[in-house]
């Protein structure tokens, strides 16, 4: 891949996938303003490179919740990978493992946690959770996750009710009784968040009390995903969260939110060493990753580009996307005079006029 291949990869995925599958991947909520601005916001930031540094050896490795990984790039939790490849989450997990990257598996996957765990190799895996109303049902899933060797739990908190996508509603994914959300209670038919039957339904009404319960109940570190405010980040940490993911769900549920590039610095400053901070949303280039690191993120999560790679080349495509981003990050660090992730500091970034 070269620096324009993500655009070509997206087009290749669009050509290969059924229209409903591509729409589900690509769509944002309502007018899709946030989905578009997530990408633009990173591009509008400017780099202020240092010169005359020794940059022959670049170290992209970073520690994530105590585990050293080769690069600060993770696979974001995205659901229903059967829409993109016959091997579904198994292929995604295998591709992430080949790249040595953390794979965050989604609750709404169509592969069991045990099947995904079998593909991890030596790479760490985390599990993304939607809290069920009945804690006993959530607890049963948590026990399976822990027994399967996942190393962290990612609680998504920004989707108490589904958003709405006019684009996805025009080309809907038709649910099939043969395809089920196998890790949810009762293994229900795998409907998307944009299924008309879910419009306006309060599906995951998680509260700070639930977070406190989860921290006590789960023998793994808990990460909270979907935070856009410093005060919420601090409350999550007070409740026991070990890390925060600054995210607006890819612009898929509440349109016209702030972009993650706008608020990552604010959240990172507020947290100030109390917990790790990660960010997702619109990251498409190695320069975007460098900017995120400079603004205070310890790592980034990649969503849609991973699904493009999965759609086109399965596990190999997932690996290629992650490897491409790491290569771009290395080059961006070299050209900016930062030889390690720790040298990606705030002074490397300026706001565009």
For residues 89 and 34, the answer to whether their CB atoms sit within 8 Å is: no
Distance CA(316)–CA(318), nearest Å, equals: 5
Window from 26-35, 101-110, 190-199 with minimum mean pLDDT: 190-199
Query: Which amino acids are annotated catalytic?
Result: 249
pLDDT at 282: 97
Give the pLDDT mean for 94-117: 97
pLDDT at 353: 66
Give the pLDDT mean for 137-158: 96
pLDDT tens sequence across 207-252:
999 999 999 999 999 999 999 999 999 999 999 999 999 999 999 9
**pLDDT over 70 (residue 2):** no
Chain mean pLDDT for the chain: 94
pLDDT at 143: 96
For residues 106 and 123, the answer to whether their CB atoms sit within 8 Å is: no
- The more confident residue out of 200 and 94 is 94
pLDDT at 68: 97
**pLDDT over 90 (residue 314):** yes
Residue 215, number of CB atoms within 10 A of its CB? 18
Nearest to 145 by CA among 129, 131, 159: 129
For residues 301 and 280, the answer to whether their CB atoms sit within 8 Å is: yes
Distance CA(262)–CA(352), nearest Å, equals: 12
pLDDT tens sequence across 213-222:
999 999 999 9
pLDDT at 1: 56
Question: Strands, DSSP E only, in 178-280?
Answer: 222-227, 243-246, 276-280
Nearest to 179 by CA among 169, 196, 192, 167: 192
Instruction: Give me 18's structure tokens.
Output: 């059924």
Q: What is the pTM of this model?
A: 0.96
For residues 236 and 270, the answer to whether their CB atoms sit within 8 Å is: no
pLDDT at 24: 94
pLDDT at 185: 82
Give the pLDDT mean for 275-285: 98
- The more confident residue out of 4 and 120 is 120
In what helix (H) or strand (E) does residue 263 lie, and over which residues does it extend? helix 260-271
Distance CA(174)–CA(195), nearest Å, equals: 9
pLDDT tens sequence across 153-180:
999 999 988 889 999 899 999 888 888 8
CATH class, domain 5-351, is alpha beta
For residues 179 and 246, the answer to whether their CB atoms sit within 8 Å is: no
- The more confident residue out of 196 and 104 is 104
pLDDT at 134: 86
pLDDT at 4: 54
Q: Render the burial of 105-114: b for 16+ CB within 10 Å, e for the rest.
A: bbbbbbbbbe
């Amino acid at each position: 891949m070269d620096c324009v291949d993500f655009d070509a990869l997206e087009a290749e995925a669009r050509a290969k996938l059924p229209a409903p599958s591509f729409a589900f991947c690509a769509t944002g909520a309502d007018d899709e303003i946030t989905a578009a601005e997530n990408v633009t916001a990173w591009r509008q930031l400017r780099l202020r490179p240092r010169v005359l540094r020794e940059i022959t050896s670049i170290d992209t490795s970073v520690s994530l919740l105590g585990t050293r990984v080769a690069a600060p790039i993770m696979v974001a939790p995205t659901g229903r990978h059967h829409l993109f490849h016959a091997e579904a989450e198994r292929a995604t997990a295998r591709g992430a493992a080949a790249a040595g990257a953390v794979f965050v598996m989604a609750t709404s996957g169509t592969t069991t946690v045990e099947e995904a765990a079998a593909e991890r190799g030596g790479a760490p895996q985390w599990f993304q959770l939607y809290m069920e109303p009945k804690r006993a049902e959530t607890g049963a899933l948590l026990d399976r996750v822990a027994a399967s060797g996942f190393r962290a739990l990612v609680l998504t908190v920004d989707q108490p009710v589904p958003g709405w996508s006019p684009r996805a509603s025009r080309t809907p994914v038709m649910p099939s009784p043969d395809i089920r959300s196998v890790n949810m209670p009762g293994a229900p038919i795998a409907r998307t968040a944009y299924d008309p039957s879910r419009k306006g339904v309060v599906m995951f009404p998680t509260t700070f009390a639930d977070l406190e319960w989860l921290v006590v109940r789960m023998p793994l570190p808990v990460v909270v995903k979907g935070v856009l405010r410093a005060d919420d980040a601090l409350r999550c940490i007070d409740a026991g969260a070990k890390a925060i993911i600054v995210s607006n769900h890819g612009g898929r549920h509440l349109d016209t939110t702030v972009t993650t590039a706008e608020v990552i610095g604010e959240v990172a400053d507020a947290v100030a060493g109390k917990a790790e901070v990660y960010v997702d949303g619109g990251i498409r280039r190695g320069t975007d990753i460098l900017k995120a690191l400079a603004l205070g993120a310890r790592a980034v999560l990649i969503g849609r580009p991973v699904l493009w790679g999965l759609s086109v080349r399965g596990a190999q495509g997932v690996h290629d996307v992650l490897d491409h981003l790491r290569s771009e990050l290395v080059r961006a660090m070299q050209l900016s005079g930062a030889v390690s992730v720790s040298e990606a500091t705030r002074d490397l970034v300026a706001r565009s006029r």
